Chain A
Amino acid sequence: MVPVLIGTTLLIYLAVFALPGDPIRTLGGDKPMPPAVYQALRHHYHLDEPLIVQYGQYLWGLLHGDFGETLNGQPVSDVMKTDWAVTARLAVTAWIFELVVGIGLGVWAGRRKGGVVDTLVLSGTTLVIAIPVFVLAYSAQLLFGLKLGWFPTAGTDDGWPYSYLLPGIVLGSASLAYIARLTRTSLVENFRADYVRTAVAKGLSRRRVLVRHTLRNSLVPVITYLGVDLGSLMAGTIVIEGIFNLPGIGGQIFTAIQIKDGPTVVGIATLLVLVYLFANLVVDILYGVLDPRIRYE
């Protein structure tokens, strides 16, 4: 964990440092900034020191639980506390949606290959995958938010889950399509396996064969996808957060990169890495539960 943390922070730090431009001058914009103020700001953000010293100071601060300061003078830890909660809620809403509905659709379609439901699910998911997410987001906002008024149009005023439902569904829709298809294909394949035929021959009910024997095995690739996807959902919220005006890390990291706000980018990105690692760990553990053959010694 520690080497990974040091490695990622260093890499991200270097990447931000390599971005062109001078954050302090950007801060001044078109207005004149007196040289004395410029120097004072550079000093305040340690920009007048060599890269390695800057990084050392950052790590030292990190050890003391200090994530540094944004270019607006706000502690990065405060920014992360509030914004991470929003993004986490959004990602988890999307994730639950794709998990429940995606697997549900997959099972429904996979039970009878080539049936009406199967064809509908296949064509429906193709459509969803083909539409860019921002088109989906704007259309959903216009139709369900503005015209029908079923969901709040934007913002987090209504709290979780109501404010997060529509953006969560839009965010999760593309992954949902993949999960439905993955579950379906996996199921169809396993239905042909010998052990399923044996189970049916033993006279087990169709339901028991499906849930106990087939689905369990079929979920291995789906779980892999779900685990990795939680991380990508976190990272992929920039567009959705912007459209639905959710104050999460997506918008925060976007502006931070634009103005070259090092501490903010590093702080948020590092936490993203941690979430990703954690999700992968959970996936690894779940493997063993689902399929005893890959259980670790």
Chain B
Amino acid sequence: MKVKGIFVGVVALAMAAAACGGGGGSSSKSKVFTVANIEPEHLIPGNTNDAYGLSVETALFDTLMTLDPQGKPVPQDAVSIDSSDQKVWTIKIKPGLTFHNGEPVTAQSYADAWNATADATNAWGNNYYLSTIDGYGDLNPDSGKPKTHTLKGLKVVDPQTLQVTLSQPFSQFPYVLSYIGTGPMPKAAFTDLKAYEQKPFGNGPFMMDGSWEHNRQINTKKFAGYKGPRPAKSDGVTFKTYASRDAAYTDLRAGNVDIDTQIPAAKVPEAKRLLGKRYLSVPSGTMDFLEFPLYDPAFKNPDLRKAISMAIDRQAIVNAVYNGVFKPTGSLLAPIVPGYRANACGESCTYNPQAAKQLYDKAGGFKGTLHLMFSNADPTYEQWMTDVANQLKQNLGIANITFDKVQASDYITKLTDHKATGPYRSNWTMDYPSPEDYLTPRCSNPTRSGYDGDPCEALIMKANAAKTPAEGQQLYQQAEDLILKDLPITPLWNWQDQAGYSSHIGGVQVDPYVSTLVHLDQVTVK
């Protein structure tokens, strides 16, 4: 009996240990809907640049500007934004707006948030986006501590007027103001930023309902005092956290989550069949590229780079690896960016094995072993690199090709340190739909590829200072043409987001310019 007794004891103890701590979870079935998400990194606007954090902040925060369905910046919290020289911008803010804690939203709320974001001592993720504002350098010295903690270029004229002076003319500034990272912060936030991040008070149509439940969910409810342009039609939205896209999709199938904007490409045929009209394919701003290490003498010759680019059958790879949902591209910009030209790259990015081989031979071919580099963050990278390798073997006759699969934590370091062993996977996600957002990282020295970006950066600067949007667009296109002529990087394909929603909700308005792909405020619960 002794044995049995101890056994029962152990089991009972184990069960007690398991039972304590309790699950909980929301059971209120009011008009609240759920969105599948992955654990955000941060929830302070100035510090949030991960897609999942931005999704939550879209519900919690309004910005000065927002993007209309054509991707043009239009006022959200602002009444107007004016500049005669693209350098000094005067922003008028709507009166009567409040934060979720009742504090009024004023010019000072924006100034405070931006000062904190631009301050290197805070080391926030969106620091860089404010680098165009005058005085940014003082807050971000190359060495040592910053001497000041306020941006010289910010002037609060009166509670409803903010004057921003940039260090250089920048016509795309209204786009930056549509980015959630430039959202305002209430005074209350600065007394304890750590506590604020667990329950941020924003100025958006939804407010936090309880604190951030890490790795579980983030509950929000409709903000009753909302006076902005997009009041919520539901009682709230809950962001459910998933460990993976697959897990989220399974839950969408089971009817446990209402919106999933991350359906894995491999599940698309099934999702189309099961969801019917409730399946959505939304154009995305994300691009995949193959970039060349120009610091390696082997890739100095532009003709060789062109030959490799022409030897890649983008459509075949997309069909094989991404179920045909991604779109092969010959442009450095995503199609949803105003100023995009289909196949701006021309023949250099068009699959043509014969011409590629000719060019390859003319360029003197490639000697030795060709290394293709990518990170182990996602299994599809290896899949498509394998296809690229096979096509290069077949079309160009490069006999020896090996893969350098790099630990995800080491990948970016290797690229920035110019330690790539060969052509490598490069990716860009959109911050705001301006050509400037896509082109600057390609040209601004030091570039990752080792490409001398001065000439194209000069064009971008000119475009930034352009008097009219049309003139600016023309100059951006010239910069894009220049890069595509030199081809330090070749565009491969443009992502598409695959979303689906449940039959419990209505008013699903798709918009590729919103991080959640769907206007959360418009969603109704049946």
A-to-B contact residues, CB < 8 Å: 19-23, 25-37, 39-41, 44, 72-74, 78-79, 82-83, 85, 88-89, 92-93, 95-96, 99-100, 141, 145-146, 152-161, 163-164, 216, 219, 241-247, 251-252, 258-260, 282, 286, 289-290
Contacts and interface: CB of A to CB of B under 8 A. Distances in A.
A21 B409 contact: yes
Interface in B439-467: 441, 444
B23 A32 contact: no
Nearest to B247: A245
Most buried by A among B3, B20, B121, B411: B3
B contact residues, range: 35 or more
A28 B412 contact: yes
A202 B444 CA distance: 93
Contact of B17 (A33, A40, A88): A88
What's the dominant secondary structure at chain A's contact region? Answer: helix
Contact of A22 (B11, B128, B413, B427): B413
Nearest to B127: A37
Contacts of B241: 247
B412 A92 contact: no
Contacts of B248: 245
A243 B412 CA distance: 28
3 nearest A-B pairs in the assembled complex, by CB-CB distance: A159-B23, A21-B410, A247-B215
A246 B113 CA distance: 35
B22 interface: yes
B409 A160 contact: no
B254 A154 contact: yes
A257 B123 CA distance: 22
Contact of A34 (B22, B120, B240, B244): B120
Given A85-B21, A96-B11, 4 more contacts: A25-B413, A154-B242, A164-B18, A245-B243
Given A30-B428, A35-B142, A160-B18, A78 B214 contact: yes
Contacts of B240: 155
A156 B23 contact: yes
A37 B41 contact: no
A154 B127 contact: no
Nearest to B10: A282
Contact of B408 (A152, A243, A259): A259
B411 A31 contact: no
Given A20-B409, A21-B407, A37 B120 contact: yes
A156 B216 CA distance: 8
A88 B18 contact: yes
B147 interface: no
Most buried by A among B146, B243, B406: B243
B408 A92 contact: no
B179 to A, nearest CB: 12
Interface of B: 2-3, 6, 10-11, 14-15, 17-25, 41-42, 49, 120-125, 127-128, 131, 139-143, 146, 194, 197, 214-216, 240-244, 246-248, 250-251, 253-254, 256, 377, 406-413, 416, 426-429, 431, 441, 444
B442 to A, nearest CB: 12
A72 to B, nearest CB: 5
B251 A34 contact: no
A247 B216 contact: yes
B268 to A, nearest CB: 18
A258 B409 contact: yes
Nearest to B146: A36
A26 B120 contact: no
Contact of A40 (B121, B253, B412): B121
Given A146-B253, A156-B25, A251-B243, A259 B15 contact: no
Contacts of B18: 88-89, 92-93, 160-161, 164
A251 B15 CA distance: 23
24 contacts: A19-B409, A25-B416, A26-B409, A28-B125, A31-B128, A32-B128, A37-B140, A78-B214, A89-B21, A93-B18, A96-B11, A141-B250, A145-B250, A153-B251, A154-B242, A157-B23, A158-B25, A159-B25, A160-B22, A163-B23, A247-B243, A252-B215, A260-B409, A289-B2
A290 B3 CA distance: 7
A232 B15 CA distance: 18
B15 A33 contact: no
B23 A160 contact: yes
A92 B409 contact: no
Contact of B250 (A41, A72, A154, A159): A154
Contacts of A141: 250
B242 to A, nearest CB: 5
Contacts of A19: 407, 409-410
Contact of A286 (B6, B49, B244, B247): B6
Contact of A21 (B41, B120, B250, B413): B413
Given A25-B416, A157-B23, A34 B409 contact: no
Contacts of A246: 243
Contacts of A247: 214-216, 241, 243
Given A26-B409, A36-B120, A74 B214 contact: yes
A293 B410 CA distance: 55
B423 to A, nearest CB: 17
B341 to A, nearest CB: 23
